[in-house]
Amino acid sequence: MEKRTDKNSYTILFAVLMVLVVGAILAYLASALKPTIDVNKQLEKQQNILYALGVNENDEKSVAFVSTDKVADEFDKYIVKQLVIQGDDVRVDDTAYLIDIKKEQASAKNPSYKRQLPLFLGVKDNKLSYIVPIRGKGLWDAVWGYVAMDENMTVTGIFFDHKAETPGLGANINQRFFMDDFIGENLLDTSGKFAGVDISKSNADPINIDKLDNEVDAIAGATITGDGVSAMIRSELKVYSSYFINLKKN
């Protein structure tokens, strides 16, 4: 006798019910938890921006952010101004850190769209830093970060993160040994043109003594993630370079 569960009608009924039940559970959970998750994400952005500015609780080797209960106050204290650059227009916007870089990059594919570029001005130890969010592609998924620079486009602090790079290899871009290498690197070449910083596999300078070579040492086994980060720095910071050049003129 044919088993009850082998019938086509049963199979279809089971599939329909399963999809409805699973879909309902996941949809309910996702919408119920969304507000909490959104708050977490906002706090994380603030923590990341402060990290790049150098406001963090690092000890010798760890990556430690300002704790989540303090971060909103610290953010107001250290970030003195948030700007949005759009074409030639620069405006002050206190929610600039919430601008979705991914959406802006997608809209910018349309040539008539002028991309909104957020820029955060932070002061730590009486030194002014300009912090810029960047976003690009690694091996598996998105990589992003925040770069803090002085007015000469010399990196004063940096933070990278990733969605799904390989643990142990590309995932190490958010570790100190990698991020700290960028500090002091100049994004301009010797003639003052924008050049970026390359993650180089043939770099004969693993301790990174030469800060003017526009290169840092790569992570072994993470070639494509490294190339992605280089490309992200080059393309995402280039769009800001005209602002910095104007800054010097004035």
Partner 1 sequence: MGLFKDSNLITDPLADNNPITIQVLGICSALAITAELEASIVMSIAVLFVLGVGNVVISLMRNIIPSKIRIIVQLIVVATLVIIVDLVLKAFAYQLSKTLSVFVGLIITNCIIMGRFEAFALANRPWRSFLDGIGNSLGYAMILIIVGFFRELLGSGTLLGMEVLGNPIDKTGVYAFGYENNGFMLLAPMALVTVGIIIWVQRSRNEALIED
CB 66 within 8 A of CB 52: no
* Shortest distance in whole angstroms from residue 239 CB to partner 1: 28
CB 50 within 8 A of CB 157: no
| Residue 117 or 222 having the CB closest to partner 1 | 222
| Residue 171 or 237 having the CB closest to partner 1 | 171
| Residue 73 or 141 having the CB closest to partner 1 | 141
CA 44 centroid distance within chain: 11
| Residue 68 or 246 having the CB closest to partner 1 | 68
| Residue 127 or 163 having the CB closest to partner 1 | 163
Take residue 164 and report the two structure tokens written for it: 């799904």
* Shortest distance in whole angstroms from residue 89 CB to partner 1: 35
Torsion 148-152-155-156 (CA) sign? negative
Q: Which residues bind partner 1 (CB under 8 A)?
A: 3, 5-6, 10-11, 14-15, 18, 22, 25-26, 29-30, 33, 36-37, 40, 44, 61, 68, 161-169, 171, 206-207, 220-221
- The C-alpha atoms of residue 177 and residue 217 are separated, in whole angstroms, by 10
Q: Tokens 């402060």 correspond to what residue?
A: 50
* Shortest distance in whole angstroms from residue 43 CB to partner 1: 8
- The C-alpha atoms of residue 41 and residue 36 are separated, in whole angstroms, by 9
> Do the bridges between strand 198-200 and strand 215-217 make them parallel or antiparallel, or are there none, so unpaired?
parallel
* Shortest distance in whole angstroms from residue 9 CB to partner 1: 10
* Shortest distance in whole angstroms from residue 178 CB to partner 1: 13
Helix H or strand E segment including 89: strand 89-92
